Amino acid sequence: MNARTIGAFPGGSLVIADGKTAHDANGNTWIEVRGFDVNRNGVEGWIEANYVDLHPRGAEDKLGRTNPTLAQEGYPSVTVQPGETMSGIARAHGDALQAVEALNQDTILNPNELDPGDQVYLPRTSGDQHAAPEHALG
């Protein structure tokens, strides 16, 4: 592909692949993606496939971003509603914003840009006592 550079994704960025692929004259495979560049601007474009790896923890489905590992480990979560912010969610649950941001850094690239349906995970020591569920032995 012969295209201009419109942004650069920082290493380890969670980008969303839209499912479209293309091949250039040299046989390289390119994937259409969207995410945030090094300046935290939203970018959509094409990236060579060999620079993209499946993210080990973060995921996004039709409902929003989620972290299957944190869910499996029993961290409580909040489903983001329209207009909610990470700072508002942290405050409502008695948590420090920095702790919530750190816990969610694998899936929420920009804590100032939440989308309805995203899962925001809360520390197990959440101020409103959202502890990980306990399992009874029967």
Q: Does domain 59-121 have CATH number 3.20.20.100?
A: no
Confidence of residue 28 (pLDDT cuts 50, 70, 90): very high
Q: What is the pLDDT of residues 111-126, one digit of tens each?
A: 888 888 889 999 987 4
Which has the closest alpha carbon to 70: 94, 118, 103? 103
CA 68 to chain centre: 11
Largest Cα–Cα distance of the chain, in whole Å? 63
Listed by start position, the domains of the chain span: 1-54, 59-121
CA 12 to chain centre: 11
Q: What is the pLDDT of residues 87-116, one digit of tens each?
A: 999 999 999 999 999 999 888 878 888 888
Please state, in angstroms and as integers, the Cα–Cα distance from residue 33 to each residue in 16, 21, 109, 118, following that order.
5, 10, 15, 19
| DSSP-assigned states of every residue in 84-112 | --HHHHHHHTT--HHHHHHHTTTT-S-TT
Full-model pTM: 0.56
